[in-house]
Amino acid sequence: MSTWNFARSPASVLLMVEFGRDRGIAPASLLKGSKLALAQLTNPDCTVQAAQELAVAANLLRLTRPESDLGLKVGLSYHLSAYGLLGYGLLSSATGMAAIALARRYLALTFTYVRMRFQRVGQHQAVVFESAPELPEALQCFFVERAMGATCRVLRDVIGSGFELIAFDLASGNGRDGKSHVLGAKVRRNQRANMLTFEHALLEHPLPQANAATAAICERMCAELLSRRRTRLDLASFLKEHLAANSFENPPQLKDIAALLNISERTLKRRLSEEGASFRDISNAVRKTKARELVAERRLSMNAIARELGFNDVSSFSQAYKRWTGVAPSIDQRRPQARRGV
């Protein structure tokens, strides 16, 4: 699993919605394609899948072009309150070092899509941000800038008004070099790394709102929250596994899955929607994967594969396979596996 692919609070999506609203962008336009509704984002029990937040971020990028420093501006709006329990834990930590250690332990309670490395260089502290190469380049730049802006905001909120930067470096060349300033430092582009630099001593001072009891309570509650999110039934994954284990000659229907889980069809549809999925899309995806596997095996005839996947005849199967992959199954079967991507 990617380091960023975890369920998260809807707070980040709400902040992007508000950011877009300030620029005259309707929430519906920002949420398009995410399968999220504005009303559900205010539900305290709601969690957002990483792919859903990615869809909102992509919409924001598209609808605000060519605004400069977009990710940075969004990140600087992420105050401690956006992080819920984790935010209170950071605020009540003994020192900045303790707060950073807590954040690193519970990174999955943030909204990050980047890796962060902390390194001390003499009297300076550097935080290096590494983008996720599997994401499109524009989103990589957006999320790196957002993470750097959010880190600056959190450190200022935690340490106090005395927190200043020595350097704010971006590897990207997009934007206006030197035109933006963050916490006393110029934003420098085309640098060797995405990096924040500040005095290490700032992390060693006792924090103004340190409270050992509160910090301990917050950490315990963060652990419980993370455990609940990780153990919560991921219906989309469950459905994929369940459908893959059954023949499509007589595939389970939505009502069968609902009965298996002891919930109503309506509840099942709603919960799938909250995960950004649908029964039909999952079923088609499993069918496609199974089709490619059976064709690649060269064990069954086309007639047998068509029956296994629930098609009435080879012609219907061939049309569906070509729609899924761009080639007929007979052609794909003759390809070497490396070229076929199986």
Between CA 324 and CA 183 the distance in angstroms is: 51
Triad 135, 1, 265: Cα angle to 5°: 100
Domain map of the chain by residue range? Answer: 11-226, 235-340
Question: Within 248-313, where are the H helices?
Answer: 254-261, 265-274, 279-297, 302-308
Residues 6+ apart with CB under 8 A from 250: 310
Q: How many CA atoms lie within 13 A of 175 on its CB side?
A: 25
The tokens describing 159, both together, are 């340490």
pLDDT in tens, the chain (342 residues): 456 878 899 999 999 999 999 999 999 999 999 988 898 888 877 888 888 999 999 999 999 988 889 999 999 999 999 999 999 999 999 999 999 999 999 998 999 999 999 999 899 999 999 998 889 999 999 999 999 999 999 999 999 999 999 999 999 876 555 568 999 999 999 999 999 999 999 999 999 999 999 999 999 999 988 877 765 556 777 777 677 766 677 777 888 888 766 678 888 888 888 777 888 888 888 888 888 888 888 878 898 888 888 888 899 999 989 888 888 888 877 765 434 443
Question: Within the chain, where are the H helices?
Answer: 11-21, 27-31, 50-64, 70-75, 84-91, 96-105, 137-159, 212-231, 235-244, 254-261, 265-274, 279-297, 302-308, 314-325, 329-334, 337-340
Between CA 236 and CA 20 the distance in angstroms is: 30
Cα distances from 316 to residues 29, 203, 249, 251, in angstroms, run: 37, 65, 14, 17
Asked whether the beta carbons of 35 and 10 are under 8 A apart, the reply is no
**CATH number at 11-226:** 3.90.1520
Same fold, 11-226 and 235-340: no
Q: Which strand ranges, in their side-by-side order, compose the sheet holding 194-199?
A: 115-121, 124-130, 194-199, 167-169, 185-188, 181-182
Residue 184: left (phi > 0), alpha (psi -120 to 50), or beta?
Answer: left
Q: How many CA atoms lie within 13 A of 109 on its CB side?
A: 26
Amino acid at position 168, single letter:
F
**Level-2 CATH architecture, domain 235-340:** Orthogonal Bundle (1.10)
